[in-house]
Structure 1
Amino acid sequence: MRIVIAGGHGQIALRLERLLTARGDQAVGLVRRPGQAEDLRAAGARPVVCDLESASVRQIADHLAGAGAVVFAAGAGPRSGAARKETVDRAAAVLLADAAQTAGVRRFLMVSGKGVGDEPPLGTDPVFAAYLRAKEQADADLRSRESLDWTILRPGRLTDDPGTGRVALAESTPPGDVTRDDVAAVLLALLDEPGTAGLTLELTGGDVLVADAVRSAAVG
């Protein structure tokens, strides 16, 4: 299966690309800068330079043609300001969903974040509050699209510890961390489980094997 990943140079995306390649799928990563391409090739993915802050729906849809699924794993990054939370974390996600609909690709995974959907507490850093609101707006837009088989994944605080292969995955989970390795493994399993379409799932480290956790979360 051909899987297109927006934010293809991100830490979760590169891990997912390695997993897809290892099992024989074709991973395609959309990246902003040509200099990022070699890292994707090293992960076994095909890089495509496409800036989601300037590309049109038609241009992106052309890159999605023939894909079995799309993953939005892009983000403005922790050093960006509030303006780029709007242009990347919200607007680019909406644009990718528009392109998926145009290209006729139904399966769409959104990497969101635990705490998205809650009003930021008083005293929250303004840029982080802008990020939370941008992600919630992007998630809400995706939930409104009946023509997409979407799943929204909201991981807890991300770590670079080695993956354990065991997680907690549900509509609501207690606060907790999760490794980027395990997030990528869950995304891979979600791609194979159509019963998770239409669900918003929180993810933290836990005691349940990834395959079992995704199977338990599935509807039907």
Structure 2
Amino acid sequence: MPLRFEELDFQPTPMGEISLRRRYDPAAEVDVYEVRLGDEYLMSSLFTVAERELATLALGRSEAPEGASLDVLVGGLGLGYTALAALEDPRVGEVTVVEYSGPVLDWHRRALLPDAAGLATDPRCRFVQGDFFARVRQEPERRHDLILLDIDHSPRHVLHPSHAAFYDAAGLRAMARHLTDAGVFALWSDDPPDAAFEAELDRAFADHSSHPVDFANPITGGRSSNTVYVARGVL
């Protein structure tokens, strides 16, 4: 019989105690990997559709031709599904993942997450420990063809108060300096499309769209939804 519950790692961080847990879900008949930060539930391997769509939808808006070598910046490593989806596109030459939490990077390097096996050793993928939001406030050292962000729960529900300023037009324009002229920005959100945030995107980008991503929820037996925002054409 599969082990019902196991805490694989538990470490203190400046933002609170972070833990990685594995449990067997009898309804889905799979091992589920879950991450918590303090009392906050962050992510689960049961729900990965929108994390993958974050990369897929953004790459779908890229006008890069076959044979291109796209440079992708990912904010937030998590369980690795966004980075993995980006690397599946043959046009992607390099993925740089900026992750604040050392323990999360350590889980991947120790191969504790079977679905992301090989991500840490993929020669096209580079892990950087750091603050994504501080990085994009600085002058860019290089520009990226895509920036994919999945750190906060949503533009209105942030993990730390210092993140909030990123989601207004000034913060978005500062980030957009790190994009190439034809670059694409995409953001994952746990909430439905947010008209107030869409108005900020209007002030920062010439073109943007909001994509509700629907998926099966084996816990409720129904459907759930996240949102992916995709923007391009810096104003």
TM-score by length of 2: 0.45
Asked which structure has the greater CA Rg, the reply is 2
TM-score by length of 1: 0.48
Structure number with higher strand proportion: 2
Structure number with higher helix proportion: 1
